[in-house]
Amino acid sequence: MLDKLAGIEKRFKEIDEALATVGDDYKRAAELAKERSDLEPLVRKAEEYRKVVQQVGEARQMAESGDDPELKELARDELAELEPLQEQLEAEIKRMLLPKDPRDDRNVIIEIRAGTGGEEAALFAADLFRMYTRYAERRGWKVEVMSINETGLGGFREITFLIKGKGAYSRLKYEAGVHRVQRVPTTESQGRIHTSTATVAVLAEVDDVEIEIPDRDIKIDVYKSAGAGGQNVQKNATAVRITHLPTGIVVACQDERSQLQNKLRAMSILKARLYEIEEARRRAEVDEARRSQVGTGERSEKIRTYNFPQSRVTDHRINKSVYNLPAVLDGELDDFIDELATREEADRLAALEAG
């Protein structure tokens, strides 16, 4: 760890020297300033750690080899305070040394699709959309619907929306997967509990400069927007469907007023999906056993269950249950997200120490 810290401290000094001589190259100055800002907390923590290590060494030497019993006792008391502080700083530095996901600070695109369960699955998809909307509101983030396919009863066959806010991806990335609901549908006359699913895909918004899509790789179709039940809601052909020919990915947007706006929305979603595919391929090289985000939508593939009769929500990845389903559906997700983030951090720390 000390070797890594030494390398970071050396780089920090190099950045300060480079900033002093960068001149009018504002782009380079901005890049250096950002790198310095990213490294500074770790450098300051390293300075604090080195100081405590030195104090521990001095106190230990006095406690073991001093001649004055009173001074030795004082040294032992000082060690009792300093050694836990040293361990705490070591743990903090290890966490700070973990590679940061470059996508964590980005806006997030979420796609919710009804899975197994027909109309009840579509209604559950609408519940999930509201849950994430309420979570975003609690954090002061903005929600923009990008594409929506409604059913006649108020459910969603699928809905794609953008959540804008710093760190949105870092929090909501844990929501990717199959969500399962157990409840009595409003259409059920005999009071039987049904099980339905919806799939959630979570994509980091991608800047235009990060991924380029040649015109020859896409096919663009335009058509009239339609609402629930198939009625035309606009006379002009403003809806846009983009097909990415190499992968077969199809993205459709119809909720903006102009064809250009729908095209821009669709391209944004397509780029995010392609970026995620590339990231998944890269991660697969490190861990071939890593599973895809949403699976097939079958009932057996689930990350979380929402049980209405028991007012229980269970996250199966961390075996955690809370018995306040209305609060969770109202956006109180941090209990789950915090624990998932803590578990991921622990796994990464273990991998770092093993490596």
Model pLDDT for residues 129-166, shown as the tens digit of each residue: 999 999 999 999 999 998 889 988 889 999 999 999 98
What are 204-223's pLDDT values in tens digits? 888 765 678 888 999 999 88
Residue 90: per-residue pLDDT: 87
Tokens of 346: 């622990």
204 and 168 in one domain?
yes
**Is 351 a member of any domain?**
no
Q: Are 309 and 180 members of one domain?
A: yes
Q: Answer yes or no: do 215 and 312 share one domain.
A: yes
Q: What is the pLDDT of residues 174-189, one digit of tens each?
A: 999 999 999 998 766 6
- Assess whether pLDDT exceeds 50 at residue 77: yes
Q: Give domain status of residue 302, yes or no.
A: yes
Query: What pLDDT score does 232 carry?
Result: 45
Tell whether 82 and 209 lie within a shared domain.
no
Q: Are 206 and 336 in the same domain?
A: yes
Name the band, by pLDDT with cuts 50, 70 and 90, for residue 354. Answer: low
The residue range of the domain holding 267 is: 108-345
What mean pLDDT, rounded, does the chain reach? 86
The answer on 53 and 33 residing in a single domain is: yes
pLDDT of residue 223: 85
Examine the domain organization and report whether 47 and 115 are in the same domain.
Answer: no
Please check whether residues 144 and 238 belong to one and the same domain: yes
Question: Which of residues 97, 120, 152 is at a domain's end?
Answer: 97
Same domain, 177 and 274: yes
Average pLDDT over residues 329-350: 90
Residue 244: left if φ>0, alpha if ψ -120 to 50, beta else—which one? Answer: beta
pTM for this model (two decimals): 0.68
Q: What is the pLDDT of residue 192?
A: 87
At 281-336, the pLDDT tens digits run 766 654 543 344 555 555 456 999 999 999 999 999 999 999 999 999 999 999 99
Per-residue confidence (pLDDT) for residue 235, from 0 to 100:
58
Confidence of residue 95 (pLDDT cuts 50, 70, 90): confident
Residue 205 pLDDT: 86
Beta pairing class for 239-244 and 142-150: unpaired
Q: Regarding predicted confidence, which is higher, 73 or 231?
A: 73
Between residues 98 and 326, which one has the greater pLDDT? 326
Mean pLDDT of 104-120: 92
| Residue 303: predicted pLDDT | 94
Of 38, 63, 97, which marks where a domain is finished? Answer: 97
Instruction: Find the mean pLDDT for residues 210-238.
Output: 73
Same domain for 63 and 129, yes or no, is no
In the structure encoding, which two tokens stand for residue 136, read together?
């975003």
Does 265 lie in the same domain as 122?
A: yes
Comparing C-alpha atoms, which of 160, 248, 234 is closest to residue 199? 160
Structural domain count of the chain: 2
Question: Once rounded to an integer, what is the mean pLDDT over residues 2-18?
Answer: 86
